[in-house]
Amino acid sequence: MTPRPESSGSRPKGTAGEKIPEQPTAAQQKSAAKKTAVPKQAAAKKAAPAKATAKKAAAGKTTVGKTVAKKAATKKAAAKNTAIEQPAAGTATAKKAAAKKTAAKKTAVKKTAAKKATTVKATAAKTTAVKAAAAKPTAADTVAGKAATAKSPAAKTPAKKAAAKSTTKSTTAKTTAAKTTAKKAPAKKAAAKKATPAKSTVAKTPAGTATAGKAPAGEAVAKKSAVKKAPARKTPAPKAPAGAAAAAPAVPPETEVAVSPAVDAVDRERLLGGTHHAPHSILGAHPVPGGIAFRAFRPYALSVTVVAGELRAELHNDGEGFFSGLLPLREVPAYRLVVQYEGTVLETEDAYRFLPTLGDLDLHLIGEGRHEELWTALGAHPMTHEGVTGTRFAVWAPNARGVRVAGTFNFWDGTGHVMRSLGSSGVWELFLPDVGEGELYKFEITRPDGSKTMRADPMARRTEVPPATSSVITASEYEWGDAEWLTRRAEAPAHEAPFSVYEIHLPSWRPGLTYRQLAEQLPGYVKNLGFTHVELMPVAEHPFGGSWGYQVTGFYAPTARLGTPDDFRYLVDALHQAGIGVLMDWVPAHFPRDDWALAEFDGKPLYEHEDPLRAAHPDWGTLEFDFGRREVRNFLVANALYWCEEFHIDGLRVDAVASMLYLDYSREPGQWTPNEHGGRENLDAVAFLQEMNATVYRRVPGVVTIAEESTAWDGVTRATHHKGPSGFGGLGFGLKWNMGWMHDTLQYMSHEPVHRKYHHHEMTFSMVYAYSENYVLPISHDEVVHGKRSLVSKMPGDWWQQRAGHRAYLGFMWAHPGKQLLFMGQEFAQGAEWSEAHGPDWWLLDPGYGAEPDHRGVRDLVRDLNTVYRATPALWRLDTDPAGFEWIVGDAADDNVLAFLRLDPEGVPVLAVSNFAPVTRPDYRLGVPDDVPAWHEAVNTDAARYGGSDVTNPDPVKPEAQAWHGRPSSIRLTLPPLATVWLRPA
């Protein structure tokens, strides 16, 4: 509210609690007389002769347009055409000055009146409804005939100036509760009725001057033809006639003082500077004394008009994009804004007329860090709110001084789209009407130091194609067809079911294919090879393709490189309908430092730890999440649920768990601070992982979480409520990558066969701890890049020996306790390292290539391994139970031979024998159970169809009653060179 100017006239004293109208200065009245819209109505209107009626002035009320008996004693008005009652007796000097001013005013008004085409008659006997800006009032809001009140202190108010003068802040239009017309209010009852002072304006300038010619529909517009200027000197209060004191009430009614609708200087500065936390309390429509104040902030607009039904009222242009006006309405109507810009006119809803789209429950859960569907509360959501379509924007930025939304819908200028802060939650919110899907946006954040930063939405569910960085408004319309798969996947836990995984980097599997094109090729290929699942390297949005997706900036958005979020849903659905589960690499450990993403998001450390030593990841130049902050934990836990629930992901492989668990991970002494117990464990990360796993398993039946954890942390796959020897509850994962097995066995295979006997323990050591966790045996992307060579190239010897070693290793891996994971390209023995730039060397499988049978043979072996594996419960039912494994011979180091049994719950065995020497071993004796009458080969990796030397055991092998390896019976086998053989009961 703009402060009112001081008056140089008299200011009578009022009773306690009484609001006293202030007198404007003479200069202000002159200015107002020039600007007022009254001349239209004043041409034929002269003040009714002031016929003073000898009435008792019950409330000292004056009816504009007709001089009503105000004094107890009869007083004859001056014979001049003035609408203003003369001052009381005893003020001769004031009378003379007033008479001169009245005469001058009368002359000015007459000249003005001659130029006007319309006149408006308004008398106390009959009030005419006048159209404002060519609009008729609605039935509900008709103010014609409703008496507005101008209250004045009885017997204490000096002579009034013209009541029609809208520039004076001392008069407020007020409609009466009863719809009583002036016709039903005879003069003899005038003292009991409230007069209706007519206003000529809708909008007021900050100084209180009227906007000419803007009269609202239905507003009483009776005007006096002459306007009296306020006296320039103090005038004594009029004396009440004899007997008046007895008739007047002791305390006259309180006077309402109309306020200026314009935005005050402080709020203007904050709105312009983007630091206002409550723009809805200023902008929009608000009840104020005198009616409803409308305020709009529309930078670059030429005009703004309020439209409510048939009511149209143009707001006053207050400069710098601010518009305001005061309408004499009783309540805020449903309205729209017509905004005129240079060259165009836009009719729209007012964004600042809406209630918040987030409720108390949402804010409470966010504050507690327990909003498990956070993606439904924050971010950009197309929606219908209070019957209006638009988009709700919400972002968590507790350190921000202000937040604005910028995007294609406002030409990337967020000045006029200021968000509001929702209490102490740190959440900023704004509903923008008429903004929908496909629009780009970012948040413009004013930091604590006053600087500004433009940030992508942390909760964006769609992004631009990198290297562009904007967020995109989206809503899913996808209809799933995988209900049968979702029901079936929960029938058995992952560690008790067949589980072989094909790991894929989607952008390079078949370079150039979109999600939907991949859906036409990938499911068929994976199903043909017999894998039960695919694992997708991070599909969450990332700016640098060379990171393979492991430096995420859009945690809630599938990468736009391959299509839209619904396109990604289509791919997942296609895989499910082909009977293939979908795992996804998930990266909650760290995030990159890009200045448009999460790093110091609102000007201070927010998602990262405030301690620089805890925030900076020592290996990757990234920032670690602050797992101790409940809102950050909520962001990540909800993200895990988001992928499982919104995209039907069947499991999350959690990246870099070891770097989360240890405070001293890759840090030297002095670069880390012990925890509260003096240890190196990151207690915050432990709590986060436990919460994430417990929440995911509770909400999403059949899902599995898998930890990439390379240390001996106790209880990675133990239930969170079961404490181990370390005193910690389990982390709650379903499976864990067996990084030790991978490193040991690949180290063994890299040795020349002649030296392998010295490293035999590297192949057997995994069984020492095989049942400490639920394991996955991973040959992942990490093992075939950056100079590590592809799997086949790790093998020593010539090309034949390399392929043979590759096949023998895969046979050993599929028979070993644990689940299997193989990275793309290794299924057909690609010789080159993988590169995200070109993907697998598919040309090796081209029939026109001379060595194509070598590569096709390896792929055929992988298919057969998966086929037999899935059909043989002994290879997966007791993966995590020691009862499912028995050594036959584990110490034949000189022979480079390993042999063991796998058993199902009914005791049905599978015999796996690996010969890692490049020589054939005929009649190799192995002890076996005596309850199996015969054995036959199920898989032999040296078969000719796989590219081997075809040394096989084609006939069933029968046990002999000769004890061997501590067993009562034994068999004699021919062991092929560099091969693995599986035998099942015949």
C-alpha dihedral, 202 to 205 to 209 to 215, nearest 10°: -10
3-state secondary structure (DSSP) of residue 380: strand
Structural tokens at position 621: 């130049």
* Angle 447-353-431 from CA coordinates, rounded to 5°: 50
Contact 228, 47 (CB under 8 A): no
Active site residues: 655, 708
What are the residues whose beta carbons fall under 8 Å from the beta carbon of 675, sequence distance 6 or more? 663, 681, 682, 683
**181: phi > 0 → left, psi -120 to 50 → alpha, else beta; which?**
beta
Q: Which of 252, 235, 233, 240 is nearest to 194 (CA)?
A: 252
How far is it, in rounded angstroms, from Cα 643 to Cα 634? Answer: 14
How far is it, in rounded angstroms, from Cα 322 to Cα 339? Answer: 12
- Token look-up 């899907």 returns 437
CA 656 to chain centre: 26
Q: Starting at the edge strand that comes first in sequence, how are the strands of the sheet with 979-985 ordered?
A: 885-892, 897-903, 909-915, 979-985, 935-940
Contact 516, 570 (CB under 8 A): yes
How far is it, in rounded angstroms, from Cα 358 to Cα 373? Answer: 13
φ and ψ of 907, to 5 deg: 90, 5
Q: How far apart are the first and last CA of the chain?
A: 95
Which run of H or of E encompasses 935? strand 935-940
Structural tokens at position 234: 């103090």
As a whole number of angstroms, the longest Cα–Cα distance in the chain is 143
CA 308 to chain centre: 33
3-state secondary structure (DSSP) of residue 75: coil
How far is it, in rounded angstroms, from Cα 552 to Cα 587? Answer: 7
Residue type, 751: H
Alpha helices in 153-257 (DSSP H): 244-247
Residue type, 475: A
- Token look-up 């600007």 returns 35
How far is it, in rounded angstroms, from Cα 749 to Cα 916? Answer: 8
What are the residues whose beta carbons fall under 8 Å from the beta carbon of 827, sequence distance 6 or more? 502, 529, 858, 859, 862
Q: Burial, 308: exposed, middle or buried (Cβ in 10 Å; 0-12, 13-18, 19+)?
A: buried
Polymer length of the chain: 986
What are the residues whose beta carbons fall under 8 Å from the beta carbon of 182, sequence distance 6 or more? 123, 124, 125, 126, 127, 145, 147, 196
What are the residues whose beta carbons fall under 8 Å from the beta carbon of 111, sequence distance 6 or more? none
CA distances from 235 to 1, 87, 156, 635, 726 (A): 29, 9, 12, 69, 91
CA distances from 247 to 244, 251, 316, 568 (A): 5, 12, 44, 84
SS (HEC) of 556-607: EEECCCCCCHHHHHHHHHHHHHCCCEEEEEECCCEECCCCCCCCCCCCCCCC
CA distances from 500 to 607, 775, 782, 823, 824 (A): 35, 12, 18, 11, 13
Alpha helices in 201-249 (DSSP H): 244-247
